[in-house]
Amino acid sequence: MNNELREHIIKLFESDTRLDGRKLTDYRPVKVDVDVTPNAEGSARVKIGDTEVIVGVKVEVMQPYPDSPDEGSIMVGAELLPLSNPNFEPGPPGIQAVELARIVDRGIRESKCLDFKKLCIKEGEKIWMIIIDICTINDAGNLPDASALAAIAALKNMKFPECKGDVIDYKKKTSKGLGLTDTPLSVTVIKIGDKFIVDPDSDEEKAIDARLTVASLSDGTLCAMQKGGDVPLSAEDIAKMVDIGLEKGKELRKLVK
């Protein structure tokens, strides 16, 4: 890791600007498209600058977990596809992919915007499992926010397939969706030196001291958090980062219908 790049980035921050000319709390242009891949029950593509992620939602009928016989659930998987970054190799998900999936999972599950009891088909026997798969198409920085945004957009857009007894007819979609009661949004706030930014590009990601992913509901309640990076954060830092996360969350939420 070249310290020169980090020093240079910090110097730019002092002029309130970044490598690509953005302000510290500016996102690159964000684009959300839904229903982008017809074989999924729900899907979305999110572009943040050049970063691009596709999320598809599939449903399966399964047996419930023994400790929650009247509840369905969600499962989030993430694949850092080798086509999206020269440093990604084919193979099972490494720790970066696992953390990404778990952060997105936490943001949705803990928001309680999806009532798992509504996913029960027959108590103790059959429940709906909602499987969210994140696939990266181009990694130009900030995969966590792009993934979380695509995941919630795909969930909102999802329609259950027709189910006759035990057999699911995936080719026929009903008009019934998940009925989410809120739109949880994730924003990752980055600390480099003593300044905070959002939406790091690939160069800025190499210079991160610490990061805090903040998931929030539309009324400003926090529903999930994750700290990353090697440098510790003070309580003051966290308060500032949470504020930025809430403000940016409000802006991003407008892009999800």
Q: Which residues bind another protein (CB under 8 A)?
A: 1-5, 7-8, 11-12, 15, 17, 19-21, 36-40, 43, 50, 52, 54, 56-58, 60, 77, 79, 81-86, 90, 92, 131, 133, 135, 137-140, 168, 170-171, 203
Q: Which two tokens stand for residue 151?
A: 């995941």
- Rounded Cα distance between 21 and 30, Å, is 17
Reduced to 3 states (helix: H, G, I; strand: E, B; else coil), residue 156 is helix
CB-nearer residue toward another protein: 135 or 149: 135
CB-nearer residue toward another protein: 97 or 241: 97
Question: Shortest distance, CB of residue 3 to another protein, whole angstroms?
Answer: 7
Question: Shortest distance, CB of residue 13 to another protein, whole angstroms?
Answer: 10
CB-nearer residue toward another protein: 43 or 183: 43
Scored b (16 or more CB within 10 A) or e, 130-164 reads bbbbbbbebbbbbbbbbbbbbbbbbbbbbebeebe
Question: Shortest distance, CB of residue 1 to another protein, whole angstroms?
Answer: 6
- Rounded Cα distance between 243 and 229, Å, is 19
Question: Shortest distance, CB of residue 134 to another protein, whole angstroms?
Answer: 10
- Rounded Cα distance between 238 and 231, Å, is 13
CB-nearer residue toward another protein: 14 or 236: 14
CB-nearer residue toward another protein: 95 or 235: 95
Question: Shortest distance, CB of residue 58 to another protein, whole angstroms?
Answer: 4
Question: Helices 143-157 and 95-109 meet at what angle, rounded to 10?
Answer: 50
Q: Which two tokens stand for residue 244?
A: 């930025």
